[in-house]
Structure 1
């Protein structure tokens, strides 16, 4: 009986497919998803009752009229940014600020 169990275990171990290294990338994509648009981060600000408002700078939590106007102008002049927001179902009038990251990407703050 013991030899039978060991034989079954050995055969089943040999029957498992060996994954090539490229499969690790697809596994990461399956687990974590693929970014919709590389270089674009959208932060949707919602009222929080747990005290995590400190993660978003106050100039974006309480934007001035000038900050909102600059964000609206940037969305109006950048069709790629506008299409990316439409794919995420974010209306352009809900965007309060657009920040350019050090890498050249955009960080969009929306309500």
Structure 2
């Protein structure tokens, strides 16, 4: 019985440390890459509404998202998912929407602009 309690405590410690390490890793990526300064607030809100709720992202904000770079985009999404306020969200769904949004913006950014 005692070994079960010790095992339970070790599992809880491992999971807690893993979550803290993940948060610190994302925070470090965000800080080192100046991620929070690469997009304007209106486009941040538009991108996050597209990913975390329902909506679309404009071409202008897609351009800003691509400039943000995927490393920042992923770290910001993951940090948001780690927030206790996001506990009711499905990480699988959010990650899938995040990847879809990134890929759509990247494809839009890579496509040649129409001639006037």
Query: Would the TM-score normalized by the shorter structure come out above 0.5?
Result: no
> Which structure exhibits the higher relative contact order, with contacts defined as CA atoms closer than 8 Å and separated by 6 or more residues?
1
Give the TM-score taking structure 1 as reference length: 0.28
Give the TM-score taking structure 2 as reference length: 0.27
Of structures 1 and 2, the larger Rg is shown by 1
The structure with the greater share of residues assigned to strand is 1
